[in-house]
Amino acid sequence: MDIFLSADDRRFRDEVRTFLATALTPELRRAGRRARSVFHEPDISLAWQRILHTRGWVAPDWPVAHGGTGWTEVQRYIFAAECARANAPSLAPMGLKMVAPVIMHYGSDAQKNFYLPRILSGEDYWCQGFSEPGAGSDLANLGLRAVPDGTDYVLNGSKIWTTHAHHANRMFCLVRTGSHGKPQSGITFLLLDMASPGITVKPIITLAGDHELNQVFFDDVRVPQANRLGAENDGWSVAKYLLAFERGGRYAPALRVTLNQLRAAAHDEGLTSDPDIALGLGRLAAEVDALQSQELQALVGGRAGDAALLPSMLKILGTEISQRLDELALLIAGPAAFPTVLDAAPDHVAVAMPRYLNDRAASIYAGSNEIQRDIIARMLLGRS
Ligand SMILES: Cc1cc2nc3c(=O)[nH]c(=O)nc-3n(C[C@H](O)[C@H](O)[C@H](O)COP(=O)(O)OP(=O)(O)OC[C@H]3O[C@@H](n4cnc5c(N)ncnc54)[C@H](O)[C@@H]3O)c2cc1C
């Protein structure tokens, strides 16, 4: 990436490096190196968020008026790359990257003033209540009912696969308020307090044995109508706006770090001349380079006509390369990666199996890769 950087950008990169060298504690770096999935537990991610908040660097993508940094696109990419390189833990995206831009766009002044500072500071921890049993890819089929009653809505139904609902104190949520016309036209977008009476959160344990996911049940839950974003029955427009932020385009920096870690691990294990491992490392190096060049092209505007395709393209490439890296990591770690007691194992062994298992979901969440391929095909073939 260095050859693309101007002298100013190099200075900026050095400033970020200097900051990370002192701000990241050994515990945070270790947690970053040993991440079992894209999500960290809030004790880790919020500890890092508070440090970034103090420095004013917690939300580089936000407008300055709301607490953003005012960096250029290239500087934001450099920041993400340097954080990955320094093994910084990831921040939960549901508040900072997903609901915040929507609040900025659709929220009233009162909603902006209340929610945005709490998202920046980490005082509020959000979860995303979109999917339901029977409404995942076919999201418009969702059926959690919200019936107006006085100044509230009364909610009944359930949400599923809700990441970190057991940690969150707030949820942004799609509910059914109308049943006439197209299914998309009867959906409303609500912000709700997870402490509201009538909400029950039940764990779903992942293949890796982790508790990240939940099913959330709503039993006569009252949500003030003032917590609506956008107009009643127009939640589909709000959700589409949000989904564009969910499928971001900065996969390559973290994938490159993993690739470099695997190179070092292969070297340590004396496996660099193993043909399967050498070929795998070479192939993945080329794939990460190609992805990074796509991401950098996107930063400078890309080719005309690509902009709408890019989130879907990058989501497919980023998640599938990460799954291939996981497969190679297992090959390098060998039988030692079998989940027994991994605490004392070297980093590359300890994370190989949990990452492999958790990343199987990467091609499913944020809109499955099959759905992304449908979106690309529809755009390229010019059908709506
Ligand atoms: C780890 C994880 C975390 C998640 N976190 C959240 C969260 O926090 N909040 C939330 O709301 N949701 C979350 N989800 C849910 C996620 O958005 C859905 O799983 C996803 O949209 C797919 O929906 P589904 O599981 O109902 O599968 P389905 O929609 O039933 O799909 C099953 C299979 O059929 C394929 N398929 C479906 N329709 C088509 C089609 N038209 N063309 C081609 N293939 C198709 C899919 O690609 C998939 O392979 C999470 C999921 C996972 C796995």
How far is Cα 365 from Cα 363, in angstroms, rounded to an integer? 6
How far is Cα 79 from Cα 17, in angstroms, rounded to an integer? 9
- The reported pLDDT for the residue numbered 304 is 52
Catalytic residue positions? 246
Pick the CATH number of 2-91 from 1.10.540.10, 3.30.470.20, 1.10.260.40, 3.30.530.20: 1.10.540.10
Query: How far, in Å, from the CA of 183 to the mean position of ligand 1?
Result: 18
- The reported pLDDT for the residue numbered 301 is 67
How far is Cα 137 from Cα 134, in angstroms, rounded to an integer? 9
Residues of the chain with pLDDT under 70: 1-3, 246-248, 301-307, 339-343, 383-384
User: How buried is 36 (Cβ within 10 angstroms: 0-12 exposed, 13-18 middle, 19+ buried)?
Assistant: buried
Alpha-carbon distances of 67 from 8, 96, 116, 190, 374, rounded to whole Å: 23, 11, 9, 24, 36
Q: Is the CB of 285 under 6 A from ligand 1?
A: no
Q: Is the CB of 153 under 6 A from ligand 1?
A: no
- Total Cβ atoms within 10 A of residue 380: 10
How far is Cα 380 from Cα 313, in angstroms, rounded to an integer? 12
Q: Is the CB of 368 under 6 A from ligand 1?
A: yes
CA 6 to chain CA mean position, Å: 29
- The reported pLDDT for the residue numbered 303 is 58
Query: How far, in Å, from the CA of 134 to the mean position of ligand 1?
Result: 10
- The reported pLDDT for the residue numbered 299 is 75
Query: How far, in Å, from the CA of 282 to the mean position of ligand 1?
Result: 32
CATH superfamily, domain at 247-381: Butyryl-CoA Dehydrogenase, subunit A, domain 3 (1.20.140.10)
Query: How far, in Å, from the CA of 254 to the mean position of ligand 1?
Result: 24
pLDDT tens-digit series, residues 290-312: 999 888 887 776 555 566 788 88
Q: Is the CB of 319 under 6 A from ligand 1?
A: no
**Tokens representing 323?**
């799954």
- The reported pLDDT for the residue numbered 348 is 85
Q: Is the CB of 370 under 6 A from ligand 1?
A: yes
Atom 18 of ligand 1: nearest residue by CA position = 136
Residue carrying structure tokens 């250029």: 72
Q: Are 225 and 151 in contact (CB under 8 A)?
A: yes
Q: Which of 109, 130, 127, 108 is nearest to 119 (CA)?
A: 127
- The reported pLDDT for the residue numbered 297 is 81
CA 215 to chain CA mean position, Å: 19
- The reported pLDDT for the residue numbered 319 is 96
Could you tell me which residues come within 8 angstroms of residue 189 by beta carbon, excluding any fewer than 6 positions away? Answer: 102, 106, 172, 173, 174, 228, 229, 230, 235, 238, 239
Which CATH fold topology does 126-236 show? Butyryl-CoA Dehydrogenase, subunit A; domain 2 (2.40.110)
- The reported pLDDT for the residue numbered 292 is 92
Atom 32 of ligand 1: nearest residue by CA position = 137
Which atom of ligand 1 lies closest to the CA of 37?
Answer: 1
How far is Cα 53 from Cα 46, in angstroms, rounded to an integer? 10
Atom 35 of ligand 1: nearest residue by CA position = 370
Q: Is the CB of 131 under 6 A from ligand 1?
A: yes
Atom 48 of ligand 1: nearest residue by CA position = 368
How far is Cα 187 from Cα 234, in angstroms, rounded to an integer? 6
Identity of the amino acid at 128: Q
SS3 204: strand
What residues pair up with 219 in beta bridges, in sequence order? 156
What residues pair up with 175 in beta bridges, in sequence order? 188
74 in the Ramachandran plot: left (φ > 0), alpha (ψ -120 to 50) or beta? alpha
Which atom of ligand 1 lies closest to the CA of 164?
Answer: 8
The full set of domain ranges for the chain reads 2-91, 126-236, 247-381
Q: How many residues does the chain have?
A: 384
Identity of the amino acid at 75: Q
Query: How far, in Å, from the CA of 247 to the mean position of ligand 1?
Result: 14
Q: Is the CB of 184 under 6 A from ligand 1?
A: no
